[in-house]
Structure formats: structure tokens, C-alpha cells
Amino acid sequence: MKRDIVTSIIGVIVFAILLGLVYPFAITGISQVAFPGDANGQQIHLNGKLVGSKLIGQNFGTPVLEKNGKPKEVKGAVVTEPDPRYFQSRPSATEGGAYNASASTFSNHGPNSVKTKEANEENIKAYLELNKNPATKTEYDPGLTVARIPVDAVNSSASGLDPEISQANAWIQAYRIAAVRHLSRATVDALISKYTSGRGLGFSGEPGVNVLELNLALDRLTGGGA
């Protein structure tokens, strides 16, 4: 018994140093030298300013302003409305505002829940609204109906930080982007293809369109939106 206790105490200390300090420092050190971009989160800079990470999705909304000109807040989170000039990311369930990358979380909405249905309906309404021309009150994409909305556009993601949307979602939004930015749809669709990640090894997963990269490319094409 005593032998076991002594060995255990030494064992825990030795392994804590080897596996809890040496190992993580070694892996982190190697990664920092060999893949500095990846190890630091694939940061994207614009004019020397950090504008995001390629891997972390963003809210491409603008703050809703109160009458006094200050951003409106609910429970400490800034209220935003989608900016029609940019492709919009998937719904995000993170607390403290959408795409809070310091507290990832999912919605936990159950499959047979009235709350899930209502959340879906709300997102559907917002998506149709977003893709409707406010001047003519018609859809930018003439074929757009509830049944044609891709599921990823209205179901919230697992991490709350999904950097990608489906191609179908991007193609629908392309009608709006082309109209608002006075671009041809062919130009926008070409950009979508350019920023679509393919299946891993040719079969794993689904293709996805990186929203931040796509939006940055749009700004480069037609001049900064913001």
C-alpha cells in the first residue's frame, strides 16, 4: 500500500510535467514554427487591421441605432440588422449576440419542439425579407419560395460559428448581391465558386462557401462597403 502511494504520487507529478507541460509546449512550439498561420487561427488582415479569422463565422449585420444615435442593446448584446450588401451567414445561437466566438454554443432546439418550429419560421421570414427588393416588393430571386430555402439558411449551426453556407444558399443571395452592388450574376457566381471548399478527399462532408472571404472579395471588387 505504502509503495503504491509513493509510486502514485511520483507518477502523477512526473506525468503531469511530461504530458501537461512538455507535450503541449512541444506541440504548440512545433506548430508555431511549421504552420504559424494555422496555429494562430488563420487570421485575415485588411489594411493592417484584423478583420476576422477564415475559420470563424461572423455576423455581417450593422448595429441598429436608437433615436439618440447609440447602438441598441438587449441584455448587453448589440442588436443588428443584416447588411444587404453582404452575404449573410447562417443563424447562430451564441449568447451575447450572434457569432460570439468567445462562447461557442448551439441552440439545443429539439426536433419535436414548438420553439424550434417558431425559430425556423422567424428565420424563414427574415430570409425572405432580406432577399426582397424593398423598392419593388418582389424577390430578387424570382423563384424564391419557402420550400426552396436551403435548410442551412434557417437552421442554426452546431458551433454557432459556422464560417460557411451551402452553395444553394449563396446562389439565392447572389441575386440580391448582384442587384445591390450592380454586378452581373455571373461575376458573383464566379466568386462563389472561387470561395467554395470542396469535399475532403473528394467524398467527406459537404461543399461550403466561406462567407467572410467571399464578402472581402466583393469589397475588393466594388470598393469597400463600410
Please give the single-letter amino acid code of residue 54. K
Residue 202 C-beta: closest distance to another protein, Å: 8
Please, how many CA atoms are within 13 Å of residue 52, restricted to the half-sphere of its CB?
Answer: 18
* Residue number with CB closer to another protein (117 or 194): 117
Residue 182 C-beta: closest distance to another protein, Å: 19
Residue 162 C-beta: closest distance to another protein, Å: 5
* Residue number with CB closer to another protein (51 or 138): 51
* Residue number with CB closer to another protein (14 or 190): 14
Closest CA to 131 of 156, 157, 153: 153
Residue 70 C-beta: closest distance to another protein, Å: 14
Whole-angstrom CA distances from 159 to 21, 108, 163, 168 are 28, 11, 10, 21
* Residue number with CB closer to another protein (104 or 187): 104
Question: What is the chain's Cα-based Rg?
Answer: 22
* Residue number with CB closer to another protein (110 or 134): 110
Residue 135 C-beta: closest distance to another protein, Å: 22
The beta strand positions in the chain, using DSSP E, are 43-46, 49-53, 61-63, 73-74, 77-78, 80-82, 132-133, 138-139, 164-165, 196-197, 208-210
The answer for residues whose C-beta is within 8 angstroms of residue 130's C-beta and 6 or more apart is: 82, 84, 88, 176
Residue 188 C-beta: closest distance to another protein, Å: 14
* Residue number with CB closer to another protein (58 or 131): 58
